[in-house]
Chains A and B, each alone.
Chain A
Amino acid sequence: GEDVEQSLFLSVREGDSSVINCTYTDSSSTYLYWYKQEPGAGLQLLTYIFSNMDMKQDQRLTVLLNKKDKHLSLRIADTQTGDSAIYFCAEVSGDSGAGSYQLTFGKGTKLSVIP
Chain B
Amino acid sequence: DGGITQSPKYLFRKEGQNVTLSCEQNLNHDAMYWYRQDPGQGLRLIYYSQIVNDFQKGDIAEGYSVSREKKESFPLTVTSAQKNPTAFYLCASSIDWTGYQETQYFGPGTRLLVL
Which A residues are closer than 8 A to B by beta carbons? 4, 8, 30-31, 33, 35, 40-45, 48, 88, 92, 94, 96, 99, 101-103, 105-108
Contacts and interface: CB of A to CB of B under 8 A. Distances in A.
The secondary structure that dominates the B interface is loop
Nearest to A102: B45
A107 B108 contact: no
Given A42-B109, A96-B99, A103 B42 contact: no
Contacts of B102: 31, 92, 101-103
Interface of B: 4, 6, 40-43, 45, 58, 90, 92, 97, 99-109, 111
B98 to A, nearest CB: 9
Given A40-B109, A42-B90, A48 B103 contact: yes
Contacts of A33: 103
A88 B92 CA distance: 15
Nearest to B56: A100
B99 A101 contact: yes
16 contacts: A8-B40, A30-B100, A31-B101, A43-B90, A45-B105, A48-B103, A92-B101, A92-B102, A94-B100, A96-B99, A101-B97, A101-B99, A102-B58, A102-B102, A103-B102, A103-B104
Query: Which 3 A-B pairs rank lowest in CB-CB distance, beginning with the nearest?
Result: A42-B106, A105-B42, A43-B106
B7 to A, nearest CB: 13
B51 to A, nearest CB: 13
Contacts of B101: 30-31, 92
